[in-house]
């Protein structure tokens, strides 16, 4: 059996699958002040009648890292940067403890200027005096030679009292200095909160008798072992929308261009498929205004969900982007849970559904509309139209944005290809009543799969472990590195591209297995490779080789 848990903005969903068949599902309110309580409540509900000993894998999607960044609750990070000539790192400053040090490594990994030890010591002392305990150390060409980053880490460990140091070269083999700085910064910013949650979640799973492999969803639609996620929590940002996309892959046979709509309690997450494959961010996700190296699906979130607040203003009736407690229909009046008129109440009054306390929805909308002379029914109609219109418009805008540049999917680059969706797939709690309304507003076919209310948890449960690594070799120097895996070894002058590809595949597969994960038959693939001769005078003195290897995101099997 496989167990999937998705901690959403409003609800935490859980499912148990036996050979792809859903045998148990649960939906409980998310407690944002204590996400662990939400996980425990979902576990207690979904494991009733299920033997915990039969569960061999638990996949968890959490909003923790995303919420910490959005709400400004991240930890102060000390950033040490060694750039050398070229890009001025001050143009990409992150946080209030940002120190640029002298020293440089070139694109082949040769140290052209030693690290400034005095400046390093002064920066470490200043950050320690300010009480900073987590750090990021980044060199421009650290993927070619991480010596400067390692020297920074030693200084931080010895003199800075570091609890954690994110080394830039451990994040990705891609050469993009500004993105690497931002990625290292955010990784350390959420490190402590994420690790506190991860340890507690692991203990909670054990408390329920679960002795299973534990993975965490990543933004690219794959999972990573819990142990690895503790060092790289930045990859858990936007794991919720990724779970939604993988849930649709598991539940539906998607082969065309289409749009995925996950309508939750707080937001609607929108993703796009081209030729049946999810569209991805070309270089990595953007966190706030900072582009990063975190691989991610192309997703847009808007503040329209079942619990999104209704308001009357100069522009008429608006829905969201915030929520002011649960909808009136679900607030449990008299139980100390104050509610507010929300989209699900409007759907109730409009006759689209009969969810929870319909009379409470009707009373609340009548009271809200009275000030403007609107009946409960007219207010409901305008609110539903506003919500549906916002979702359809956001989906069209995302498709237009994707079509403004080359289209990258999980599988390939579709150069010159225009995405033309033929249908919407809708999931989430309010998806049932919204589906026919979205079909009418968009003019497209709308599909509502089985188990649509917990499709994100199904996606979490069935998603495979995915990792990537980049190999760089310089045969003149006789050296080969795979920075993200910590591989650094000598190679012969005749080291070939074929040998590099085999080494990249083997190292990545071995690394995944060492983390206790199962490849599920999905062996690492070479996604990019190339070799270039280095010429001095009139003769070739060596070759530089670059190989990118990946276990692609996907599901271990279809649901149902």
Asked if residue 266 is part of any domain, the answer here is yes
Distance (Å) of CA 340 to CA 93, 306, 344: 41, 12, 11
Q: Are 213 and 516 in contact (CB under 8 A)?
A: yes
What's the CA gap between 248 and 241, in Å, rounded?
11
168, 189, 210 - which closes a domain: 189
Per-residue pLDDT tens digits of the chain, which is 560 residues long: 999 999 887 788 999 999 889 999 998 888 877 888 888 999 999 999 899 999 999 999 887 788 788 778 889 999 999 988 888 888 888 888 999 999 998 888 888 999 999 999 999 999 999 999 999 999 998 888 889 999 999 999 988 789 999 999 888 877 889 999 999 999 999 999 999 988 888 898 999 999 898 999 998 888 988 988 999 999 988 888 888 889 998 998 888 899 999 998 888 889 999 888 888 887 888 887 888 888 888 888 888 888 888 988 887 888 888 878 788 888 754 344 567 899 999 999 999 888 888 999 999 999 998 888 889 999 999 999 999 999 999 999 999 998 888 777 766 666 677 889 999 999 888 888 999 999 999 999 999 988 888 888 999 999 888 888 889 999 998 999 988 888 889 999 999 999 999 999 999 888 888 877 766 667 788 888 888 888 877 788 889 999 988 888 888 888 87
Instruction: List, in order, residues 6 or more apart from 207 with CB less than 8 Å away.
Output: none
Establish if 330 belongs to a structural domain.
no
CA distance 558 to 253: 9
> Can you state the percent helix, strand and coil of the chain, rounding each to 5?
35, 30, 35
Q: What's the confidence (pLDDT) of residue 334?
A: 39
**Which of 155, 189, 223 corresponds to the end of one domain?**
189
d(CA 305, CA 266): 5
Whether 182 and 101 share a structural domain: yes
State whether 59 and 203 are in the same domain.
yes
Is 52 among the domain residues?
A: yes
Tokens for 171?
A: 């994040």
Domain co-membership, 277 together with 411:
yes
With beta carbons less than 8 A apart as the criterion, state whether 99 and 78 touch.
yes
What torsion do the CA atoms of 446, 451, 453, 455 make, to the nearest 10 degrees? -90
Distance CA 433, CA 389 (A): 15
Residue 348 lies in a domain: no
Residues 493 and 536 in one domain: yes
Q: What CATH number corresponds to the domain at position 146?
A: 3.40.50
Measured in residues, the chain has a length of: 560
On whether both 398 and 276 belong to a single domain, the answer is: yes
In a domain, 383, yes or no: no
Residue 321: asked if its preceding bond is cis (omega within 30°), the reply is yes
At residue 127, the 3 state secondary structure works out as: helix
Whether 101 contacts 124, CB under 8 Å? no
C-alpha distances (whole Å) from 511 to each of 47, 212, 486 are 32, 19, 10
Q: Which among 186, 183, 182 has a CA at the least distance from the CA of 171?
A: 183
CA distances from 149 to 103, 144, 292 (A): 11, 11, 19
The total domain count for the chain is 3
* Cα–Cα distance list, 334 to 327, 329, 331, 360 (Å): 14, 12, 9, 12
Residue 314 lies in a domain: no
Which of 499, 511, 437, 434 lies closest to 473 in space, CA to CA?
Answer: 499
Of the candidates 422, 446, 445, 415, the one whose C-alpha atom is nearest the C-alpha of residue 433 is: 446
- pTM comes to 0.85
Least Cα distance to 549 among 496, 515, 520, 507 occurs for 507
Residues 57 and 114 in one domain: no
Comparing CA positions, the residue from 63, 26, 33, 32 lying closest to residue 47 is 26
Query: Do both 172 and 243 map to the same domain?
Result: no
Task: Tell me the C-alpha distance between 377 and 372, whole Å.
Answer: 13
Q: How much is the pLDDT for 362?
A: 93
Cα separation, 49 vs 33, in Å, equals 29
Q: Are residues 82 and 65 in the same domain?
A: no
pLDDT at position 336 is 46
Q: Of 189, 208, 237, which residue sits at a domain end?
A: 189
Q: Domain of residue 484: give its range.
A: 468-550
Residue 194 to residue 232: CA distance in whole angstroms: 10
Both 169 and 223 in a single domain? no
Q: Give the contacts of 523 (CB within 8 A, at least 6 positions apart).
A: 505, 509, 551
Residue 311 lies in a domain: no
Residues 402, 491, single domain; the answer is: no
* Residue 310 lies inside a defined structural domain of this protein: no
Residues 6 and 153 in one domain: no
Mark whether 86 and 232 lie in a shared domain. Answer: no
Q: What's the CATH number where 253 sits?
A: 3.30.420.40
């Amino acid at each position: 059996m496989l167990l999937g848990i998705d901690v959403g903005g409003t609800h935490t969903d859980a499912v148990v699958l036996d050979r792809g068949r859903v045998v148990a599902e649960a939906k409980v309110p998310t407690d944002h002040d204590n996400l662990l309580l939400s996980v425990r409540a979902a576990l207690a509900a979904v494991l009733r009648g299920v033997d915990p000993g039969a569960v061999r894998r638990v996949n968890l999607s959490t909003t923790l890292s995303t919420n910490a960044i959005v709400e400004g609750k991240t930890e102060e990070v000390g950033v040490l940067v060694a750039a050398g000539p070229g890009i001025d790192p001050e143009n990409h400053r992150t946080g209030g403890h940002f120190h640029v040090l002298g020293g440089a490594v070139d694109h082949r990994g040769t140290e052209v200027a030693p690290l400034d030890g005095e400046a390093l010591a002064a920066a470490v002392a200043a950050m320690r005096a300010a009480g900073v305990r987590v750090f990021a150390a980044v060199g421009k060409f650290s993927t070619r030679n991480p010596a400067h980053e390692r020297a920074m880490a030693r200084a931080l460990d010895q003199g800075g009292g570091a609890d954690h140091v994110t080394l830039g070269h451990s994040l990705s083999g891609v050469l993009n200095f500004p993105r690497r700085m931002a990625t290292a910064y955010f990784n350390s910013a959420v490190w402590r909160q994420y690790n506190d949650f991860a340890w507690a979640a692991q203990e909670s799973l054990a408390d329920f008798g679960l002795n299973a492999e534990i993975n965490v969803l990543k933004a690219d639609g794959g999972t990573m072992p819990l142990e690895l996620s503790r060092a790289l929590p930045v990859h858990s940002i936007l794991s919720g929308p990724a779970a939604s996309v993988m849930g649709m892959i598991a539940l539906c046979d998607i082969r065309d261009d289409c749009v995925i709509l996950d309508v939750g309690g707080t937001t609607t997450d929108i993703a796009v498929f081209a030729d049946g494959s999810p569209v991805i961010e070309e270089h990595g996700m953007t966190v706030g205004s900072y582009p990063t190296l975190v691989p991610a699906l192309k997703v847009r979130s808007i503040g329209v969900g079942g619990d999104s607040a209704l308001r009357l203003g100069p522009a008429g009736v608006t829905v969201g982007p915030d929520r002011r407690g649960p909808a009136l229909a679900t607030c449990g009046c008299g139980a100390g849970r104050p509610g507010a008129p929300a989209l699900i109440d409007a759907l109730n009054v409009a006759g689209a559904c009969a969810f929870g306390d319909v009379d409470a929805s009707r009373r609340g909308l009548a009271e809200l509309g009275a000030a403007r002379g609107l009946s409960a029914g007219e207010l409901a109609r305008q609110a539903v139209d506003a919500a549906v219109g916002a979702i359809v418009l956001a989906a069209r805008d995302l498709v237009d944005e994707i079509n403004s540049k080359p289209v990258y999917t999980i599988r390939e680059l579709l150069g010159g290809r225009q995405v033309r969706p033929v249908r919407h797939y809708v999931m989430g709690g309010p998806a049932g009543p919204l589906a026919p309304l979205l079909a009418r507003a968009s003019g497209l076919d709308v599909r509502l799969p089985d188990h649509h209310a917990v499709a994100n948890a199904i996606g979490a449960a069935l998603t495979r472990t995915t990792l990537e690594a980049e190999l760089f070799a310089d045969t003149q120097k006789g050296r080969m590195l795979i920075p993200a895996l910590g591989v650094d070894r000598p190679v012969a002058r005749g080291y070939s591209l074929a040998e590099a590809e085999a080494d990249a595949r083997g190292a990545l597969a071995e690394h995944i297995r060492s983390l206790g994960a199962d490849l599920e038959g999905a062996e690492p693939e070479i996604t990019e490779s190339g070799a270039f001769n280095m010429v001095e005078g009139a003769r070739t003195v060596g070759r530089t080789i670059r190989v990118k290897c990946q276990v692609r995101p996907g599901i271990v099997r279809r649901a149902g």
